[in-house]
Amino acid sequence: MREAEYTTAQAKVAFTYNSRSPRTDPTHGRRPHRARLPNEQTRHQMVNAIQPPSQNTTTRPRISFLGCGYLGATYAICFAELGYEVVGFDVDAAKIESFNTGVLPMHEPGLPELLKKNLESGRLRFTTDVQAVADFADVHFICVGTPQRKGEHGADLSYIETAVVNLSKHLSRKVLIVGKSTVPVGTAQWVQELVDRHAPEGLGVEVGWSPEFLQESNAMHDVLRPNRIVYASQSEWASQLLKDVHRGILELAAVEDREVPVVETDLATAELVKVAANAFLATKISFINAMADLSEAAGADVVDLARAIGYDQRIGNRFLRAGIGFGGGCLPKDIRALSARAGELGVGESFRFLDEVDSVNTRRRTHTVRAVADLAGRTSGPNGPDLSGVRIAYLGATFKPDTDDIRDSPALDIARRLRSARADVVVYDPEGLENAKAYAPELSFVKTLAEAVADADVVCAMVPWEEFRTLDPEALGRQVAERRILDGMNAFDPEQWRKHGWSYQGIGR
């Protein structure tokens, strides 16, 4: 592993030296800007203009992000904010149109404002035209999805294959293609082979890797101010380009007097870093959820337990919130893909514990359904509980707060299980209603918290949105039919709720 040569201290010098240049000024965003978006014609010209390769790739390479989901869109917008000229590519024309008109087609705090601002600056555009992308960028980041393969645990790499092959065929000069999507180790080598096969002969296009660690709901911050940068390349040329690509982040850190560690490593390690990090986080959550089961059985309180062990800095207090388990587009599929890949490489036995991490996590869902049935005074038969006639105010559908993402959402899955047990489930979520409705049409959805809780027999508070965490037990008590609450977020003070006449049930307490 090589130590990165370009440090935050050097970035500070570079920033001071270049501070008059708008291309290298990460504070450009604080200046007043025109409140006008590029019109249709200007945008069309920007996107379709075939621009010459940037002359000075050592300071600010031009960048493309292929795949404009939660990951690629955030990166595209934030790198424009850092002063780079950026194009975002996606095959979904409606999505691209939405970005280009300044409307973020997803919920992510802070990003809508940044999108508008950087469209106005002219540094950011989105397109479905792969030729324009190939002509424009010096560095192409692959940000497409790698979902779980249907009926298997391994990752589906078909979106990566399509993006890489498509791009390669349109290239006309040497560029760097950098993988950002989460992949099984060995993928970078395969991507290089794809490029060699499909790019015009003799260009010498290279592949590098640079995993991302952004958390939805905090994505903008995680990209602009990451806690580390990791990348891998196969040559000095590519290593220099990767340094230049990340220069803007280090310059911003220098201005804010922060350090951002840079780890430069080999391709296989860079690929593994991401899945290793996610597997570790998932393990931490399942560990505390297993402790929640034990706490319930022993009459202990897992919330106090987590606080007490978290003060040990070797353990740390983050990702120790027991509850309904982890979900989302990353953790569940990443641990399965890691375990599957380890099996392919002959070390599957060492990763059996990840299967257990997965099982502990999915068991949260049956466990929670049982807890709701207990609260409602219904016993479980061989086919699970019968909840017919029970009206449930169901608060939360997304996989976590401050996002509209419902991928592998534990809350939504539990809602469906309660519906299967014949409960009348009325769901409210601040941002996830539309996505949830499309995925689970059998549930009832309402647009306000008040509608959800009216005459409820049980309130299930499942996703720690601020609107739910700040609920007042007395005010809520006046709206429901029965004062019964399942706190799937473990966010409330049980004594407080019991004092107001509620039957309170948390997770592991």
Contact residues for ligand UDX, defined by CB under 6 A? 212-216, 278, 281, 285, 319-321, 323, 325-328, 330-331, 399-400
Q: Which one from 68, 143, 330, 460 is the annotated catalytic residue?
A: 330
Cβ of residue 330: shortest distance to ligand UDX, in angstroms? Answer: 3
Cβ of residue 179: shortest distance to ligand UDX, in angstroms? Answer: 14
Q: Report the residue number, 38 or 69, with the smaller CB distance to ligand UDX.
A: 69
SS3 87: strand
The amino acid sitting at 63 is: I
Asked if residue 467 lies in contact with residue 489, where contact means CB atoms within 8 angstroms, the answer is: no
DSSP summary character for residue 421: T
* Alpha-carbon span 492 to 494, nearest angstrom: 6
DSSP summary character for residue 155: B
431 is written with which tokens?
């941002």
Cβ of residue 323: shortest distance to ligand UDX, in angstroms? Answer: 5
Q: Is 455 exposed, middle or buried (0-12, 13-18, 19+ CB in 10 A)?
A: exposed
**Helices 267-298 and 302-310, axial angle in degrees (round to 10):** 130
* Alpha-carbon span 268 to 341, nearest angstrom: 13
211 is written with which tokens?
């995993």
Beta-bridge mates of residue 505: 486
Asked if residue 481 lies in contact with residue 391, where contact means CB atoms within 8 angstroms, the answer is: yes
Q: Report the residue number, 72 or 328, with the smaller CB distance to ligand UDX.
A: 328
Q: Report the residue number, 191 or 281, with the smaller CB distance to ligand UDX.
A: 281
Q: Which residue carries 């440090």 as its tokens? A: 7
Asked if residue 416 lies in contact with residue 442, where contact means CB atoms within 8 angstroms, the answer is: yes
| 62 Cβ contact partners less than 8 Å away, ≥ 6 residues apart | 51, 53, 54, 84, 85, 86, 87, 136, 137, 138, 139
458 is written with which tokens?
């049980």
Q: Report the residue number, 38 or 396, with the smaller CB distance to ligand UDX.
A: 396
Through-space distance between the first and last CA atoms of the chain, rounded to whole angstroms: 45
DSSP secondary structure, 99-153, as one string:
HHTT--SS--TTHHHHHHHHHHHTSEEEES-HHHHHHH-SEEEE----PBPTTSS
Q: State the DSSP H helix or E strand holding residue 272, giving kind and residue range, or none if neither.
A: helix 267-298
330 is catalytic: yes
Asked if residue 155 lies in contact with residue 148, where contact means CB atoms within 8 angstroms, the answer is: yes
Q: Report the residue number, 153 or 400, with the smaller CB distance to ligand UDX.
A: 400
Cβ of residue 325: shortest distance to ligand UDX, in angstroms? Answer: 6
Q: Report the residue number, 194 or 320, with the smaller CB distance to ligand UDX.
A: 320
Q: Report the residue number, 216 or 251, with the smaller CB distance to ligand UDX.
A: 216
CB count, 10 Å around CB of 379? Answer: 9
Q: Report the residue number, 83 or 329, with the smaller CB distance to ligand UDX.
A: 329
* Alpha-carbon span 253 to 269, nearest angstrom: 25
| 211 Cβ contact partners less than 8 Å away, ≥ 6 residues apart | 180, 182, 230, 270, 271, 273, 274
Cβ of residue 295: shortest distance to ligand UDX, in angstroms? Answer: 15
Q: Report the residue number, 184 or 473, with the smaller CB distance to ligand UDX.
A: 184
Q: Which residues are catalytic?
A: 330
